[in-house]
Homo-oligomer: A and B are copies of this chain.
Amino acid sequence: MEMNDAVRRLTGLAQDTRLRIFRLLVRAGPGGAAAGRIASQLGVPPATLSFHLRELADCELIRVERRGRSLIYSADYGSMQELMDYLRHDCCGGISKSGRAGRARQELT
């Protein structure tokens, strides 16, 4: 994963409403949740919600699929895993807690 994509996904999560949307969708599981359900659950006006759903979809943290007249959103779990892996290995790995050279480098768990 490239740093640029990491920044984009971090930006996706770095906003109150969007983090709440993502949390909700993770909890909703693979079946996802319709936009309207998210809106009522979080108390966010439709247009505002739509804006944030698009942000999350653009950085691929969530997916969308139409079912009837509803649009069902779901968390893209693999994409989140990629981000976590990036942060663990490519961004934040390699720190030494002790500072002693030649020691095993600490990884985020």
Interface residues of A (CB under 8 A from B): 3-4, 6-7, 10-11, 13-16, 19-20, 22-23, 26-27, 29-31, 75, 77, 80-81, 84, 87-88, 91-99, 106, 108-109
Looking at the assembled complex, report how far the CB atom of A66 sits from the nearest CB atom of chain B, in whole angstroms. 19
Q: Is there contact, CB below 8 Å, between B84 and A29?
A: no
CB pair A108 B91 closer than 8 Å: no
User: Contacts A4-B16, A7-B19, A16-B7 known; A26 to B99 CB distance under 8 Å?
Assistant: no
Contact of A94 among B26, B92, B94 (CB under 8 A): B26
Query: Complex Cα distance A15/B109, Å?
Result: 23
Of the A-B pairs whose beta carbons lie under 8 Å apart in the complex, a sample of 12, sorted by A's number, is A3-B20, A4-B16, A7-B16, A14-B14, A26-B93, A29-B95, A29-B96, A31-B99, A80-B87, A81-B109, A84-B87, A84-B88
Instruction: Tell me whether chain A's interface is mostly helix, strand or loop, or mixed.
Output: helix
Chain B: minimal CB distance from A28 (Å):
9
How far does the alpha carbon of A88 sit from the alpha carbon of B75 in the complex, in Å?
A: 14
